Amino acid sequence: MKWFIDILTVWFHELKRIIHDEGVLLFFFVVPLLYPLLYSYLYNNEIVTEVPAIVVDDSHSSLSREFIRKVDATADIKIIGQCADMEEAKEMMHHNNAYAIIYIPSSFANDIAEGMQTSICLYSDMSGFLYYKAIYSACTEVSLDMNYDIKAERLGGASERQIETFSYPLAYRYVPMFNTQSGFASFLIPAILILIIQQTMILGVGMLAGDERERLNKGETYYWTDNIKPVQMLFGRAGAYWCIYAVISVYLVCIIPDIFHLVHIWQWKTLLPFMATYLTACVFFSMALSILSRDRESLILVFVFMSIPLLFMSGLSWPVQNMPLIWKILSHLFPSTFGITGYIRISEMGALIPDIHYELTALCTQSVVYFIITCLLYRRRFRKNLHTADNNVC
Bridge partners, residue 52, by sequence: 78
- The Cα–Cα gap between 211 and 214 comes to 5
How far is Cα 99 from Cα 124, in angstroms, rounded to an integer? Answer: 6
Q: Does 252 bind other proteins (CB under 8 A)?
A: no
> What is the contact mask toward other proteins in residues 81 to 120, using x (rule: CB under 8 A)?
-------------xx----------------x--xxxxxx
Stretch that binds other proteins, among 5-13, 245-253, 289-297, 383-391 (CB under 8 A): 289-297
State whether the Cα torsion 290-304-190-30 is positive or negative: positive
Sign of CA dihedral 73, 78, 79, 81: positive
DSSP 254-287: IIHHHHTT------HHHHHHHHHHHHHHHHHHHH
Helix, coil or strand: residue 19: helix
The answer to whether residue 388 forms part of the interface with other proteins (CB under 8 A) is: no
164 HSE (CA, 13 A, CB side)? 5
Smallest distance from other proteins to CB 229, Å: 28
Q: How far apart are the first and last CA of the chain?
A: 35
**Under the criterion CB under 8 A, does residue 264 sit at the interface with other proteins?**
no
Q: Beta-carbon neighbour count of residue 67 at 10 Å?
A: 23
Site string for other proteins, 316-345 (x = CB under 8 A): xxxx-xxxx--x-------------x--xx
Among 173, 390, 393, 394, binds other proteins (CB under 8 A): 173
* Residue 267 contacts other proteins per CB under 8 A: no
167 binds other proteins per the rule CB under 8 A: yes
User: In whole angstroms, what is the distance from residue 377 CA to residue 279 CA?
Assistant: 20
Least CB distance to other proteins at residue 54 (A): 13
Shortest distance, CB of residue 290 to other proteins, whole angstroms?
15
Residue 305 binding other proteins, by CB under 8 A: yes
Burial 296-312 (b: 16+ CB within 10 A, else e): beebbeebeebeeebbe
Does 143 bind other proteins (CB under 8 A)? Our answer is yes
Torsion, Cα 300 303 307 313, to 10 degrees, reads: -170
Q: Which of 52, 213, 216, 251 binds other proteins (CB under 8 A)?
A: 52
Q: Find the binder of other proteins among 12, 37, 45, 255 (CB under 8 A).
A: 45
Work out how close the CB of 2 gets to other proteins at its nearest, in angstroms, rounded to a whole number.
Answer: 33
Provide the greatest CA pair distance for the chain: 108
**Quick one: which segment of 37-45, 54-62, 81-89, 382-390 binds other proteins (CB under 8 A)?**
37-45
Smallest distance, other proteins to C-beta of residue 15, A: 18
Phi-psi region of 261 (alpha: psi -120 to 50; beta: other; left: phi over 0): left
The single residue among 195, 283, 351, 363 that binds other proteins, judged by CB under 8 A, is: 351
Q: Which of 34, 15, 319, 391 is nearest to 196 (CA)?
A: 34
The nearer residue to other proteins, 49 or 365, going by C-beta atoms, is 49
Region from 47-55, 219-227, 272-280, 283-291 binding other proteins, contact rule CB under 8 A: 47-55
Among 15, 17, 50, 107, binds other proteins (CB under 8 A): 50
- By the rule CB under 8 A, 221 interacts with other proteins: no
Q: Is 393 exposed, middle or buried (0-12, 13-18, 19+ CB in 10 A)?
A: exposed
Segment interacting with other proteins (CB under 8 A) among 41-49, 225-233, 234-242, 281-289: 41-49
Instruction: Classify residue 174 as left (phi > 0), alpha (psi -120 to 50) or beta.
Output: beta
Residue 201 beta carbon to other proteins: minimum distance, rounded to whole angstroms: 16
219 touches other proteins by CB under 8 A:
no
Choose the stretch contacting other proteins; rule: CB under 8 A; options: 248-256, 279-287, 315-323, 368-376: 315-323
Interface with other proteins by CB under 8 A: which range of 7-15, 16-24, 219-227, 362-370?
16-24
